[in-house]
Structure 1
Amino acid sequence: MIDSFASSKAYRRLLARVERRYLVGRVRFVAGEREYEVLKVADPDSVFDAAMAEENSRGQKPLDWQPYWAEAWESSLVLAQYVAELSTPTTSLLDLGCGVGVVGAVAAACGWDVMLGDIAQPGLLFSQLNVWPWRERALVRRIDWQQDWLGRDFDVIACADCVYDRRDFHDLDKFWRKHLSDRGEVLIAEPSRLIGREFRETIVQLGWTLDPSPGVRRSGKREVVVSRLTRRR
C-alpha cells in the first residue's frame, strides 16, 4: 500500500519530514479481504519516554496531548477490520483520536467519506501518509474533542482506544452528540480492561443505547471489545 505511490514528490517530501524526526516502522494487517500496510513510529516507547521527560520538566503543567498516537494499537487494527466488514461504505466516517490513522485509512479505502482527527500533530503527519492513496475522499485535521465544533455531522464516529481516562467520558459524550447524524452511531474499540467496563456503564447512564453484539475480538495476544452506540430515542 505504501510503496506503490512512493514515487510521488509530495509524498516523498512528507515522508522525509517525518523521517527527520522519527524512525519509521511498518505494520501489515488484513481488513476485509485486503492486505494493508501502515506507517508508525518504529519505537513508540521512545516517544512516550521523551513526552514524559518533557512533562516532568514543565513541573505541574501537562502536555497538550498524550504520546499514545505513535503506535498502531490492537484496538485500531480490530476496529479497522470491523469497519471493512460493514455493508454501507458510502456514508461519512470520523476517525476520532485517529493516532496514525489506521481506521480512517481502511475506511477511505473501502469508499467512505472520511475525516481523521487527533489532538497530537505528529500523529496527523503519519495519518496523511497512511491515507495518501485515498486522499481525495479523506481530510486530516487537528481535533480537540474537549472544545472543538466541526460544523458538520457524521454517520459513523469511530473511536479506537479513546476511553482510557474517565475524565474524557463526558467530553466524548458531548462531542458525539454535536457531531453524529440523526441515525448515526459511534463505534468503540478498546482493550478488555476495567476502565472499558466503567465507560460502558457510564455512557448508558448518559443516555446512549449500547449494542455489544460486535463482541470481543482478538488481535495478537490482546482481546479487544467492540461496541456500537446510538442515541436513545
Structure 2
Amino acid sequence: MNFSLPYPTREIDLQLEGGHTFKLLEVADAEALLDELILKGDQHEDVQDERIPYWAELWPSALGMAQFLLKRADSGAGLIREGQGVLELGCGLGLPGIVAGKLGGQVTLSDYLEPALDFARSNWALNNAAEANYTLLDWRQPDADLAADVLLASDITYEARNFPYLPHAFRTLCKPGGTIVLSDPRRQVAREFFHDLPAKGFIMEKFEEPVKFQGKTIVIHLYTLRIEA
C-alpha cells in the first residue's frame, strides 16, 4: 500500500469510542521533512509561504473531530447523511474525511500540498471501499465549484495569518443550508477568531470532545457553524 508514497511511513491503529476502528499511515520521521524545508533556504517559495509539513502526522484535533462525528451518528443526531457532499479542508492524513465516508458522505479530500493528498489517498484505501475525490486547494483562493453540504476543517486555526481568509472560504465552500464543522485544541491564538464568528454572520454551537492521544487525555473544542440567511 505504501510503496508509492513519497516518504517512509508507520501505521497507526485507532480504536475510537463505540468500537470504531481505523488504520492510518503517517510519515515515520516528520522532523526530517521540516529539516528538508529549512535546507531550501529563506528565499525558496516553500519557505516564504511557510509550507510547514503539519500534514505529516496525526493531530489530536483530527481525532476529536472523527470521534465527534461518529458519536453524533451513533446517537441518531448525525451531521452527515447518506449521499451528502462532504469537503475536508486541509485534510492532511484525511481521518475526518475517512470517517465521513464511513457515514455515507460523498467525500472530497483537499489540501494545499500534494504529498498530503498522496497520504490521504492511501489512508482512504485502507479504510473505505467507496471512492473519494482529491484536489489541491488553497483556502486563500477557494473554488466555489467545490462547495459541499458539509465542510470539515480540523485544526486549521493554528496561525493568525490564516484568519482573514477563513470566513470567506467557509461561505464559498459550504452550500446554502449546509454545515461547517471545525475542531481546535483550545489554541490561545484562535480564541478571538472563534469569538468573532457570530458577529461575522455565523450561527455557532460549541462542544467539547476528550480524546486519548499519546498517553494523555486532551479536550478538543468542536464548533458547528451555519451561515445566517
| In structure 2, C-alpha distance between the alignment counterparts of 1:227 and 1:75, rounded to whole Å | 12
SS at match of 1:148: coil
| In structure 2, C-alpha distance between the alignment counterparts of 1:95 and 1:135, rounded to whole Å | 18
Q: Percent of aligned positions with the same letter in both sequences?
A: 25
| In structure 2, C-alpha distance between the alignment counterparts of 1:143 and 1:167, rounded to whole Å | 17
Q: Which of 206, 212, 222 is the matching residue for 1:226?
A: 222
TM-score by length of structure 2 reads: 0.86
| In structure 2, C-alpha distance between the alignment counterparts of 1:24 and 1:35, rounded to whole Å | 19
SS at match of 1:124: helix
Tell me the residue number matched to 1:27.
Answer: 12
Q: Which of 104, 127, 134 is the matching residue for 2:120?
A: 127
Structure 1 residues 60 and 108, CA gap change in structure 2 (3 angstroms): closer
> Are residues 1:207 and 2:185 paired?
no
SS at match of 1:54: coil
Instruction: Say which structure is richer in helix.
Output: 1
> Are residues 1:101 and 2:97 paired?
no
Structure 1 residues 125 and 194, CA gap change in structure 2 (3 angstroms): same
Tell me the residue number matched to 2:4.
Answer: 17
| In structure 1, C-alpha distance between the alignment counterparts of 2:97 and 2:150, rounded to whole Å | 11
| 1:89-111 superposed Cα distances (whole Å, 9 cap, x missing partner) | 31221111000111111211222
> Are residues 1:80 and 2:66 paired?
yes
SS at match of 2:96: helix
SS at match of 2:197: helix
| In structure 2, C-alpha distance between the alignment counterparts of 1:104 and 1:22, rounded to whole Å | 22
Note the 1:190-205 alignment, pairs <5 A: 190-205=184-199
Tell me the residue number matched to 1:89.
Answer: 81
Q: Which amino acid aligns with 2:4?
A: R
Shift, 1:162, TM fit: 0.3
Which is worse superposed, 180-189 or 132-141?
132-141
Tell me the residue number matched to 1:159.
Answer: 153
> Are residues 1:186 and 2:180 paired?
yes
Shift, 1:135, TM fit: 5.9
Q: Tell whether the 8 Å contact from 1:29 to 1:77 is kept in structure 2 after alignment.
A: no
| In structure 1, C-alpha distance between the alignment counterparts of 2:129 and 2:172, rounded to whole Å | 25
Matched length: 217
Structure 1 residues 169 and 119, CA gap change in structure 2 (3 angstroms): same
Shift, 1:223, TM fit: 2.4
Q: Which amino acid aligns with 2:7?
A: Y
Unaligned runs of 5+ in 2: none
Shift, 1:54, TM fit: 2.2
| In structure 2, C-alpha distance between the alignment counterparts of 1:191 and 1:76, rounded to whole Å | 10
Unaligned runs of 5+ in 1: 1-11
TM-score by length of structure 1 reads: 0.84
